[in-house]
Amino acid sequence: MMKLSSLHRPVLLSALLACLSACATFGPPSSVPPHPPAARAEDVLAADLALAKARFVELIPITEPLTPDNGGAVVELDQQRVYLYQRSQLVAVSKISSGRRNHRTETGLFSVASKDPKHRSNIYGDFVDTASGDVVLGNVDARLDAAPAGAVFKGASMANFVRLAYGGKPSPIGFHAGMLPGYPASHGCLRLPRQTSEYFIKNLPTGLPVLVLGEKFGVPHGARQAGSPAKKRPAPPVETPAADPATPPAPAPLETPPAAEPPAAPAPANPVFD
């Protein structure tokens, strides 16, 4: 075996330090993708086991904050699940409820745009009495239904709303707390269990990539779907007391041309599907 002289040792040490520095700069940690292009077979198996008796499971505690560079979410609509990754490692999985027929959730590469813990829909909700706050007419569409007299629109709760952007522009869809019946039931948003929604609004940063996949329960971004609103429906008729039989009927009014039908109310500036 050749022995290194005292002259060669400093040179060898310098070369070793240079190699270690290069490995630290260009090694595996920085080259690992934030998330896979789809839920892998082992991820699906882990989710099968984790979600057998739960709706949300954090598999690995997040030891460092998620960022657009080290993390991402993959939504599998056909599985009705969302997988959360950090450095391509599965850290959490949850059940979801996506858009139902004619309101299917759009697929594509999205990103987190904004967060609102107390968000309400500006399309779907109830008409409530202005004085008492009681529901006068429930489950309405503000684009189609006219408010009864003395009532105002109150949007449905979408707590812990995480809005998604597509191509850098905020989209109508996002994650939020809601009912999960076990199948697609929303108007396009991604409903989450309350626990998942609290975890997401806390840990998902702005700009985090969210890949939405699905052929059976999804449609490509921008695809036209049936069920879009036609025009505003009139308000329910107001009951009036019957005329007194002893009172002579009022004379018929002069015939006038019918008034032009008012144009449909414009869609809200920033619509939300659910």
Domain ranges for the chain: 29-119+158-220, 121-157
Report, as an integer, the average pLDDT of 84-101: 97
7 burial class (0-12, 13-18, 19+ CB within 10 angstroms)? exposed
Of the pLDDT bands very low, low, confident and very high (cuts 50, 70, 90), residue 95 is very high
pLDDT in tens, 17-44: 344 334 433 334 457 899 999 999 999 9
Greatest mean pLDDT among 54-58, 231-235, 269-273: 54-58
pLDDT in tens, 227-269: 656 566 666 665 555 555 555 555 555 554 555 554 544 545 4
- Between CA 140 and CA 150, with CA 137 as vertex, the angle to 5 degrees is 115
CATH topology for 29-119+158-220 is: L,D-transpeptidase catalytic domain-like (2.40.440)
User: Which pLDDT score, from 0 to 100, does residue 189 have?
Assistant: 97
Report, as an integer, the average pLDDT of 180-185: 97
Strand bridging mode 71-76 / 209-213: parallel
- 8 A C-beta contact, residue 107 and residue 220: yes
Structure tokens at 243: 């005329």
Residue 196 DSSP SS3: helix
Q: Average pLDDT of the chain?
A: 82
